[in-house]
Amino acid sequence: MAKDKKQETKAEFSESMPSNPIVIKAQYTKDLSFENPNIIKLLTENSAQSPNINVNVHVEAKSLEKNDFEVTLNIQAKASLEKMEVFIVELSYAGIFGIAEEIPQDSLKPLVLIECPRLLFPFARNIIAETTRDGGVPPLMLNPVDFVEMYRQQQSQEEASPKTKKN
């Protein structure tokens, strides 16, 4: 009996959700920067050490007209070996997404800040891998990003920060 209830709830949810809640209208590179300051030294010195790589990912969303949003995935990766900087790559990869009007308002923000960057990530990952490879170092293959956890952290930071009143 409980299984039937779950199936009914799932069916009701499926019927209420639009078949395509997100439409990708465009994807593009907004900004790409690659610096390789010590490539000569790196290529001429044999080092068995692997570089220390620090990756930062940040998501921004901007409302456009109607139910369209521009979502930008900002990725910065820095690699260093001992005190030598190996490379720096910075990418802002964006997409314009149309969100179905039937999406409830309380579901809109998580959809835009979780699902949209999740759709952009494989393309951004590929750009970074190709850019680092073309720069003379092994391709940087980014690990998957947990956009749900990023969203939760952002929400908790927003709740913890004091709200300023407008006069």
Domains in the chain with CATH codes: 19-155 (3.10.420.10)
Buried b (16+ CB within 10 A) or exposed e, 40-76: eebeeeeeeeebeeeeebebeeeeeeebebbbbbbbb
Give the pTM: 0.80
pLDDT 10s per residue in the chain (167 long)? Answer: 455 554 554 444 445 555 678 999 999 999 999 999 988 887 777 667 788 999 999 999 999 988 899 999 999 999 998 888 999 999 999 999 999 988 888 888 999 999 999 999 999 999 999 999 999 988 999 999 999 999 999 888 888 876 654 44
Is residue 75 within 8 Å of 124, Cβ to Cβ? Answer: yes
